[in-house]
Amino acid sequence: MERTVIDYKKNDHKITVKTIDKHIKIMSDGVVIVETDDALMLSEQGHGDTVYIPVRDAKLKYFKESSTKSTCPYKGTADYYSLNINGKEKKDAVWRYIKPSLDFIPIKDYMAFDPNSIERIEL
């Protein structure tokens, strides 16, 4: 059963994180780069829904740390990774909050994907 992990509201900005009770498979360039039963769905006002997957379930041999960072006033600083599959690089395709703000500690060991950098997410 789905459950709410984070229900955040500040200055009329709402972010909700819920568990996903489905097996998730993420593919890029014909390669399965993630399979998990422990994904989260982050819904943020003004943005589309984003699937976050546990870092432990990613095939990290396809991920290369990038120097890119971005800051969210709610979640904190995101670190980016490029995907390297079959000699093809997709720069800054993945991000994660290694040290999220206190309200978002539950997404600390999770990562998300730029939807333009992956073929599909199977739910």
Q: CA-CA distance, 23 to 39, in Å (whole number)? A: 8
> Whole-angstrom Cα distance, residue 15 to residue 17?
7
Q: Which residue segment(s) compose the domain that 44 sits in?
A: 4-122
Integer angstrom CA distances of residue 21 from 56, 101, 114: 18, 26, 22
Q: What's the pLDDT score for residue 48?
A: 86
Residues paired with residue 17 on neighbouring β-strands, in sequence order: 6, 42
pLDDT band at 54 (very low <50, low <70, confident <90, very high): very high
18-52 per-position pLDDT tens digit: 999 999 999 999 999 999 999 999 999 999 899 99
Segment 83-105, tens digit of pLDDT = 999 999 999 999 999 999 999 99
Phi then psi for residue 24, to 5 deg, are -115, 135
pTM for the full model?
0.93
Q: What are the Cα distances from residue 24, in Å, to 3, 56, 68, 101?
A: 17, 14, 27, 26
What's the domain count of the chain?
Answer: 1
CATH number at 24 reads 2.170.150.40
